[in-house]
Structure formats: C-alpha cells, structure tokens
Amino acid sequence: MGGVTSSMAAKLAFFPPNPPSYKLITDDAAGLLLLEHFSHRENVDVLRLPTRRGTEIVAVYVRYPMATSTLLYSHGNAADIGQMYELFIELSIHLRVNLMGYDYSGYGQSSGKPSEHNTYADIEAAYKCLEESYGAKQENIILYGQSVGSGPTVDLAARLPRLRAVVLHSPILSGLRVMYPVKRSYWFDIYKNIDKIPLVKCPTLVIHVSIIVLYLYLNNTEHENAFEKLVVNEMFLRKRRVVEMKSDVVLSNNQNKTGTADEVVDCSHGKQLWELCQEKYEPLWLKGGSHCNLEMYPEYLRHLKKFISTVEKSANRRNAGRRSVDGFEQARRSSDCSEGPRKSTDRREKPRKSTERPERLRFHEFKFTHTDKAEKLKVSFEHMERSRRSVEYCDKSRKNMDLQLEKARKSVDWVDRIR
C-alpha cells in the first residue's frame, strides 16, 4: 500500500521538464563531460554521480577562487540544471561561494524516476561528492532548497548537526499541506518539513513572498501557457482549476498588469517553518515576487549576501575561539609536564619567606627554637640517667649474687670441718 501511495504522490508532485532542457556531450579532446549549447568554463565541472538507490544523477560544480563556503542547491519543480545553469554561475559570482547543483532522479539527464526517497538519495550523493571529491567540510557547507527542493534539503540538514547554514526558498510545510490546510501529518504525506525543521541546528534563512494576489500578462497566448505550466507543475492542480483561475483574472481586469505573487505555495508555509527553526535568521518576505523569480529581485541578492557573510564571520569567530582554547590547553599540558621541578623550587623557597617577617617575629621565633632545643636536651639527659641507673642496678644485683655464693661455699666448708 505504501508503494502505491508513493507512486501516486510522485505523479502529483513531480513534473520534470519534458523534453529535458539540455543534453550531455563528451569533449573528445579533453575527455570532459559538457552540457550541450553551453560553452565550456574552466571553473565548472559536469558530473555523473551514482546514488545508493541505483540511479545516476547529473550535477554541476562551480568553483569560486578563495571561497570559504560551498552552496548545495536543490532546485524547484519543473526545472533542471540546464535551466538553472546561468543562475548557478551568477550566484557563485555574487555570493562568492562554490556551488553545486544537481538534477533529481528522472529530471534532465538523470536516470530513474522521481520520488521522495530518490531525492533523499540524490542529495546524499551530491553531498558525498562535495566531501570526497572537493574536500568540503560539513562546517563549510550551506544547503539551499527551493520549493520541492526544500524537502531533501531539510531532511539532510536534520541529520547533519555541524552545517554552516540552511536557506529555504519558497519552502513547503509538506506535500499534502500545499493542497489542503490539514492540521496533522499523515503517513501518506511526503516531505514533512514541518516535523523535521525543529531538528535543524544551524542558522536558517527563510525567503518567501508576503502577498498572494495574482497578476499576469494576458496579452498573448505565450504568457497564458507559461502561467498554466507553472501552476500545474508547482501546485499539483488539475488543468480545469487552472483555466478557472485564468478566467477569473480575465473577467476582473482586461488591462495588462505587471508583477507577480506566489500563488503556488502560500506564504504561511514559510512563516510557520521559520517559527519552528532552532536558530532563526531574519527572514525575507518579498512583495510582489513569484514562486520562481524571487532571485530576480535586488532585495533577494542583498539579503542572501548579508546572511552568508554573517554565518561566515560567526564560523571564523568560533574557529578562532577553538584555536585559542587549544593553545591554552597545550600550554597547560606543557606546564603540567614541568610540575616536578616547580614543586622542588617551592620547597626551597619556604625558608625564604620567613626572612621577610618583622624583627619581633624573628626574635620570638629564635627564642622558641632555642626552647625547643633545651627541651630536646632535657629529654636526652633524662634518657641517659635512666640508662645509667639501669646499669648500676645490674651491677648491684651481680654483687648480691656473688655474696650469696660466697656464703654457700663457706657453709659447705664448715660442714666438712665438722665431719
């Protein structure tokens, strides 16, 4: 039953671009993997990564010179890295970070089919590549999740306690809550971010819009088709409701209007997730931004740069404090090794302290010392006297014994004379 439900959820939740926006080609001269229609860049690697669920995903890695942070970007629905490629380059330059973006299983040229658990395996494969192939440490990695990408992002962040930071861009509370305002999590729901976000221990930035009023360009069919694709792919709604929404807008205003707002994921999702964060950072509620074009707003880039700069400085302070503690500990250990000689020095210094006392004290101390010596001499004299008396007693006993023997001998002589 669980597999059937998961398959149904996948059909409603995932809309990979069809056909994919890019193809993979191999440069015969250099043996490098490239994205078709994109010129090769020396600082960009195109990779194929195996996952623990048997699929193979495509990823791009963008280097930035002297970067101290690495951004792992999980893109939104109805997109692939071919569509995100130029954005990845720009974000790396403006934010001064290394950046890795990847396609979920079944997206772009990645193998397999899209599913909740496949996306968990996909982000794990990308994270493993950052650690093993590029030497990134957990403390230097920032996870970035947009829309559906907030699902694998929060899931991985909840299991990594030393991450540098997390960015949630138009996140969802859960898959089911996008369609229905349910009050509890059900077993068949997917991407239960609402239950996992309290487990994330690093600084978290939430970016979302603050209004949900829909404006559209309605002057040609191209814009209408673009809107229809956006809503169907991102909101998991039937085409019938999309047509109804478009009709309502046309009836309410026949004039062209500019500007958009997030009608795909309600702003309450972002606000509730932010309230549940352990380590909150000032959120960004953009006015008039749509679900997919927030990165086009200057406020977005400024706020994101400020956030990354803040977490980098905080990490540097922690590292400096850790180094100073380690230095203190090392100094303490070295002083512990020389504790023996220091104690002997202390023993020699004890008499020196007595010389610094006042004259009166020294006189009393002198008198007291001589009194002690007299007492000791008195005890010794008494001991000698007892010993002498003991010897005299022994001599007296010996003389008495001799006298008795002499008397006995004389008595024997007297008896002999009588006979």
Give the separation between CA 138 and CA 401, rounded to whole angstroms: 103
Does 304 share its domain with 384?
A: no
d(CA 380, CA 57): 99
Domain count, the chain: 2
Residue 331 within a domain: no
Centre a 10 Å sphere on the Cβ of residue 195 and count the other Cβ atoms it contains.
14
Domain range for 404: 357-419
Q: Which CATH number characterizes residue 221's domain?
A: 3.40.50.1820
User: pLDDT tens, position by position, for the chain (419 residues)?
Assistant: 445 555 555 666 789 999 999 999 998 887 899 999 898 999 999 999 999 999 999 999 999 999 999 999 999 988 999 999 999 999 999 999 999 999 999 999 999 999 999 999 999 999 999 999 999 999 999 999 999 999 999 999 999 999 999 999 999 999 888 888 888 888 889 999 999 999 999 999 999 854 332 222 223 334 344 334 433 344 333 333 333 333 333 323 333 333 334 455 677 888 999 999 999 999 998 765 554 554 556 888 999 999 999 999 988 887 776 666 566 566 566 655 555 555 554 454 455 555 544 444 444 444 445 555 555 555 555 666 666 666 566 566 666 666 766 676 666 565 555 55
DSSP bridge pairs for 101: 60, 73
Do 132 and 88 lie in a common domain?
Answer: yes
Contact criterion met (CB below 8 Å) for 74 and 143? yes
Residue 59: in which H helix or E strand, if any?
strand 56-62
Indicate whether 219 belongs to any domain. yes
Question: Do 79 and 154 fall within a single domain?
Answer: yes
Domain finish residue from 310, 325, 340: 325
Query: Considering the entire predicted model, what is its pTM?
Result: 0.66
Active site residues: 147, 262, 291
Peptide bond into 19 cis (omega under 30): yes
- Inter-CA distances, 10 with 5, 73, 113, Å: 9, 21, 9
What would the two tokens of residue 120 be? 């968990």
